[in-house]
Copies of this chain bind each other. A is one copy, B any other.
């Protein structure tokens, strides 16, 4: 289709990909009301008496939801390309998970939540080995579970601070001054160390994480923060392969700035203990960088004695076509810490041996995760393997990205004349890895309008950054679903304004 010329009829039509593999789901969207429908509006009002409901999209009927389809309380059935902010790995009500739940041997795991750091269940080491460690990043044999993404990153930062200070004091016992000053938040016990992050990053919203988050003002406004260095994240041109030279220059500029900031913050007396980065900036607008950028960054971290923390909370779990997005970098030693949550169902982080805190209770809390989530994860990993879902994601991802490329250049027959329509809506920045894709829309208002229209046509999408639409389907999103989506989405773009 690359040789298509203006004038050709190119409204996107689904290829005949049969629906076979997601047997337990529906055969397409089915809309009965606009969204939110009357029942959702009623419930939103009810919940408004209890909470801020400004972010509520609609209320869901999770019992009736299946596979890639989310059903709402008004009976609308939508193809879910957002999956609860990218956190549903194998779709709704997967039979394997329902089966797991109905196994009486598993009941006790749900009913008795242990304090994992002191009184773990007998199965805990084996479950970790079979689940999280079976997909451990290269070079890592240690993992610490946590309840959510923010706690994972907060504790990963603590692990880096502890590692850095132990290194600095030559692994000697902390001084009496260290011990007494830390109790009252003062140096040297609470040292002026920093974590370097990148503009556009999102690492969570608790106070430590928030100091490394720079995606939207609404996340950060009015919350005290730390004076930590913030490096520029490369602003690349897409498609990447068309702009290799410009992009390499931009990445070199950012890497130079990284080194400058490390030196500057050391001189300021706030040395950089660790660098945290997402393989693809997700919340910040699906910003990519090249494997070469990450390899260089990893080397800079090593050179300056900073720990290197790769935050895979949104990119991890298979959606890029590899289990971890950082695997695309092709490195044996990609990171010192890799944090996860969302699709992994449990939060936590892997770390290299030397990043393990030297003493008990330094990285600790009551629950330290939740074994019932580890149980689900084991089964999710079984399904991923049994159904070769990483290959499926790679295949669906290619179809999705190609479809998005085509939409960008698509021209449409209107009446008798031919008009180039979409370029005024889409800005030619389609990009992605696996099904972890995004496009940019001309402005925020247009994006909002398109997202709402898509929803009313039975396609649930999410935004990110200033004017991107992000695609975050489950791993069971097949080529069939890609084409179903592209047909409807094309239709919406065609009819826009």
| Interface pair B55/A361, CB less than 8 Å apart | yes
Q: Is A409 an interface residue (CB 8 A)?
A: no
Complex contact B119–A94 (CB within 8 A): no
Secondary structure class of chain A's binding surface, majority of residues: loop
A117 within 8 A of B: yes
Q: Least Cβ distance of A402 to chain B in Å?
A: 29
How many chain A residues touch the partner (CB < 8 A)? 126
A24 sits at the interface (CB 8 A): no
Measured between beta carbons, the chain B residues less than 8 angstroms from A56 are 117-120
Tell me if A366 counts as interface (CB < 8 A to partner B).
yes
Q: Is B50 within 8 A of A142, CB to CB?
A: yes
**A129 neighbours in B (Cβ, 8 Å):** 50
Q: CB-CB < 8 A to A17: which residues of B?
A: none
Pick out which of these stretches binds chain B: A4-12, A187-195, A381-389.
Answer: A187-195
A252 CB–B CB distance under 8 Å: no
B218 touches A55 (CB 8 A): no
Name the contact of A185 in the complex, choosing from B98, B109, B186, B225 (C-beta under 8 A). B225
| Residues 332-381 of A contacting B (Cβ, < 8 Å) | 341-342, 345, 356-357, 359-367, 372, 376
Most chain B beta-carbon contacts within 10 A, residue among A57, A85, A92, A157: A85
Interface string of A147-158 (1 = CB under 8 A from B): 111110011011
- A residues near B (Cβ < 8 Å) are 39, 43, 46-47, 49-63, 65, 70, 73, 84-85, 87-88, 92-94, 97-98, 101-102, 104-105, 107-115, 117-122, 124-125, 128-129, 133, 141-144, 147-151, 154-155, 157-158, 161-162, 164-166, 174, 178-180, 182-186, 189-194, 199, 204-208, 211, 214, 216-228, 230, 341-342, 345, 356-357, 359-367, 372, 376
